[in-house]
């Protein structure tokens, strides 16, 4: 079954909105504490080009960890699988996304996967370009292609707020530099990474990116190949095994689609061959996933028969 109207989605978000009261806004990035915890918006972008939305679907939010999937795709395109997986692994962790624990106990000290912060920092470190500006331009152009909108940009205030307070990520970087997983200037890397996490869009834009992944890397509207299909497949697999952090197992059982969340409250979903989904609901559960957003996905997956399992 497919979603066929905005009213249908409006009704679903009214049903799940009350769940927001069980979550709270992220607190370690000061600028994100100012969001409204009751906000909820959703968009579904079908691979045939039709799309639906509900809630304040024009409200912009920053991608945070959702950006990790996009950077991974770019870095795989630029460097190839072998080079990338020399520095970052393919296994899920049962730990929180910002944990440093496994880096110390695993030999060699290679981050377990590209969806946790350590792995994502190692991936961002592999973006090609002669300096930070050129790397940033490449990443932003790629995001703009995926959304098909050259106005997409980043939120400077959120980027600065994270950069100024990112001491845990700094620690991860210095640890990895010591173990030769990453190289170069750490402040430059953090500057780039926090800008990447602060890339801003609305849920319809995010659903469109999800639809590109759902369509194996093909832009559903223009038919252009934006991501080679084997790379889109790798990204979707990471979304299934690690995309919802240490709640990925439960999410696979209850929802069963490739998805990636961010601490801003965003979630991007990709239902293979069917549609992309963009959600924004900033009240988070204790693992850092949008409470109402996950509930909404559970309901939609049941109604529309999305589970891939
Ligand atoms: N920018 C955030 C960080 O690195 C992203 C984390 C997240 O969304 N889980 O801490």
**pLDDT tens by residue, 185-229:** 999 999 999 999 999 999 999 999 999 999 999 999 999 999 999
205 in the same domain as 59 = yes
65 catalytically annotated? yes
Ligand 1 centroid–CA 112 distance in Å is 16
Give the number of other CB atoms < 10 A from CB of residue 283: 24
84 catalytically annotated? no
Is residue 295, in this structure, part of any structural domain at all?
Answer: yes
Ligand 1 centroid–CA 83 distance in Å is 24
Q: 141 with 149: CB under 8 angstroms?
A: no
Q: State the Cα–Cα distance between residues 43 and 252, nearest whole angstrom.
A: 21
Q: State the Cα–Cα distance between residues 237 and 281, nearest whole angstrom.
A: 24
Q: Would you give the distance in Å from CA 173 to the centre of its chain?
A: 20
Pocket of ligand 1 contains residue 64 by CB under 6 Å: yes
Pocket of ligand 1 contains residue 169 by CB under 6 Å: yes
Residue range of the domain that includes 183: 65-153+160-195
Is residue 309, in this structure, part of any structural domain at all?
Answer: no
Domain boundary among 195, 221, 247: 195
CATH number of the domain bearing residue 99: 1.10.1500.10
Q: 124 with 115: CB under 8 angstroms?
A: no
Ligand 1 centroid–CA 115 distance in Å is 10
152 catalytically annotated? no
206 in the same domain as 169 = no
Is residue 277, in this structure, part of any structural domain at all?
Answer: yes
Please tell me the total count of domains within the chain. 2
Residue-wise pLDDT tens for the chain (309 aa)? Answer: 787 899 999 999 999 999 999 999 999 999 999 999 999 999 999 999 999 999 999 999 999 999 999 999 999 999 999 999 999 999 988 888 888 888 878 877 789 999 999 999 999 999 999 999 999 999 999 999 999 999 999 999 999 999 999 999 999 999 999 999 999 999 999 999 999 999 999 999 999 999 999 999 999 999 999 999 999 999 999 999 999 988 999 999 999 999 999 999 999 999 999 999 999 999 999 999 999 999 999 999 999 999 999
Q: State the Cα–Cα distance between residues 13 and 219, nearest whole angstrom.
A: 27
Residue to substitute in 70, 160, 262 for testing ligand 1 pocket (most ligand atoms within 8 angstroms of CB): 262
Length of the chain: 309
Give the number of other CB atoms < 10 A from CB of residue 165: 15
Q: 123 with 71: CB under 8 angstroms?
A: yes
209 in the same domain as 185 = no
90 in the same domain as 26 = no
pLDDT for the residue 9 = 96
Q: State the Cα–Cα distance between residues 189 and 265, nearest whole angstrom.
A: 24
191 in the same domain as 81 = yes
Q: State the Cα–Cα distance between residues 263 and 254, nearest whole angstrom.
A: 20
CATH number of the domain bearing residue 244: 3.40.710.10
78 in the same domain as 146 = yes
């Amino acid at each position: 079954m497919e979603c066929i109207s905005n009213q249908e989605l409006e009704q679903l978000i009214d049903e799940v909105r009350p769940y927001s009261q069980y979550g709270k806004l992220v607190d370690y990035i000061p600028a994100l504490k100012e969001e409204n915890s009751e906000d909820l918006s959703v968009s579904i972008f079908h691979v045939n080009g039709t799309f639906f939305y509900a809630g304040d679907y024009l409200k912009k939010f920053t991608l945070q960890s959702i950006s990790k999937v996009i950077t991974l795709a770019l870095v795989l395109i630029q460097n190839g699988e072998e080079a990338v997986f020399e520095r970052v692994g393919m296994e899920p962790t049962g730990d929180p996304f910002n944990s440093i624990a496994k880096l110390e106990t695993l030999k060699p000290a290679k981050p377990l996967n590209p969806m946790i912060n350590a792995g994502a920092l190692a991936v961002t470190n592999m973006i090609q370009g002669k300096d930070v500006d050129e790397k940033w331009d490449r990443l932003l152009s790629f995001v703009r292609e995926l959304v098909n909108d050259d106005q997409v940009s980043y939120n400077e205030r959120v980027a600065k707020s994270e950069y100024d307070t990112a001491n845990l990520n700094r620690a991860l970087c210095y640890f990895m530099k010591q173990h030769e997983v990453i190289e170069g200037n750490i402040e430059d890397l953090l500057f780039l990474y926090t800008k990447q996490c602060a890339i801003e869009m609305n849920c319809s834009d995010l659903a469109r990116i999800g639809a590109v992944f759902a369509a194996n890397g093909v832009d559903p509207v223009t038919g252009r190949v934006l991501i080679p299909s084997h790379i889109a497949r790798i990204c979707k697999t990471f979304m299934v095994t690690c995309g919802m952090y240490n709640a990925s197992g439960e999410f696979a059982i209850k929802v069963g689609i490739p998805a990636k969340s961010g601490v801003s409250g965003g979630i991007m979903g990709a239902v293979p061959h069917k549609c992309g989904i963009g959600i924004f609901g900033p009240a988070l559960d204790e693992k850092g996933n949008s409470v109402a957003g996950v509930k909404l996905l559970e309901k939609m997956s049941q109604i529309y028969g999305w589970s891939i399992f």
